[in-house]
Structure 1
Amino acid sequence: MSTVVEADQIRTTAEAVEAAAIPRRHEVHADPEVAPCEVPDAVAQTPVTEKSQAQWAYERLILYIQNFEKQLDNEHEVAMGFTGGHAGALRIEGMGYFDPDLVTFYGTDSSGVKTQLVQHISQLNVMLRALPKQIETAEPNRIGFRLAQDLTKA
């Protein structure tokens, strides 16, 4: 059995490899009230090496969307802004992935036109935006909650 020494910590090679495959994240916000997104056990316990790039991007995007929505008031919903071009924003109504390397977003654009974006993970560049609710309802549409429920089923 071989060992690895890291910052005054001795681990077996197996422990070092396992630690390298477990997802890590770090965030700092100017506002101390902004909590970092929580990573469900179903996501954190599966080593990254066992996921396709598309699945891994999909799972992390869900966590970011859900955390973004937690910061919104009842008058706003999450949307995704596009970089480059003049496509505007997509009100996110669904999301998926196609192994090994495609992520897709479903929704409507600012004109209310049904829209789907299919993007290769190497081109993935998402800006989350808060848009006013389209329909006057008591509660805003929270897609992040539904997407996160899907992660826990995995």
Structure 2
Amino acid sequence: MTQDIKTTAEAEEAAALPRLYEVHADPDAAQVEVPEGVTKKPVAQKSPAEWAYERLVMYIQNFEKQLDSDHEIAMGFTGGEAGVLRIEGMGYFDPDIVTFYGSDSNGIKTQLVQHVSQLNVMLRALPKPVEQTEASRIGFRLADDLTKS
């Protein structure tokens, strides 16, 4: 067994980079991919809102990769009566607000503004609207935006 000796700079760089660790019962389960744009800026230089937003984008995209063509992503919110929101957009306002845009189960336009300390979402698969020919994939557009950062 060998132990690599790292310089102080290497240790600090490693500590600043985001770490992701997951274990699934299914060994073929899709793993979250971290876009290059997320690692360009050290975590310590990101606001809580930016950092929460980036990680949510990665989880949304990963969840969508597992959906069939008849389902779209939605999120359920805990701790209130917000219900389920079909995700149509997402953003953040530094230093600590994350915003979700979409429609509720009745098709009513909805926006949720949430403080990062209260952020607690559940990703869900909903059948795509019947009149819609293809399922909408917001996660891929969000992730594409992260690579441009």
TM-score category, normalised to shorter length: over 0.9
Name the structure 1 match of 2:74.
79
Assess if the C-alpha contact under 8 Å between 2:30 and 2:66 holds in 1.
no
Name the structure 2 match of 1:108.
103
Runs of 4+ in structure 1 over 2 Å off: 84-87, 135-138
Name the structure 2 match of 1:25.
20
C-alpha separation in 2, matches of 1:135 and 1:144? 21
Q: Give the gaps of 5 or more residues in structure 2.
A: none
Give SS of 2:5's match.
strand
Q: Give the gaps of 5 or more residues in structure 1.
A: 1-6
Give SS of 2:106's match.
coil
Q: How many residues align?
A: 148
Identity %: 72
Name the structure 2 match of 1:46.
41
* TM-score normalised over the length of structure 1: 0.91
1:148 is aligned, of 131, 143, 148, to 143
Note the C-alpha offset of 1:10. Answer: 1.8
Amino acid at match of 2:13: E
Q: Report the aligned-residue RMSD.
A: 1.3
C-alpha separation in 1, matches of 2:30 and 2:134? 22
Give SS of 1:104's match.
strand
Deviations 1:63-114 (A, max 9, x none): 0000000000111100010112333200000000000010000000001111
Note the C-alpha offset of 1:28. Answer: 1.0
Deviations 1:10-56 (A, max 9, x none): 22222211111100101111112212111111112321112111101
Deviates more, 1:136-145 or 1:117-126: 136-145
Pair 1:10-2:12 in alignment: no
* TM-score normalised over the length of structure 2: 0.94
Name the structure 1 match of 2:54.
59
Deviates more, 1:57-66 or 1:36-45: 36-45
Name the structure 1 match of 2:112.
117
1:89 is aligned, of 78, 84, 93, to 84
Deviations 1:120-147 (A, max 9, x none): 1011101000011124333200000110
C-alpha separation in 2, matches of 1:88 and 1:50? 33
C-alpha separation in 2, matches of 1:105 and 1:112? 15
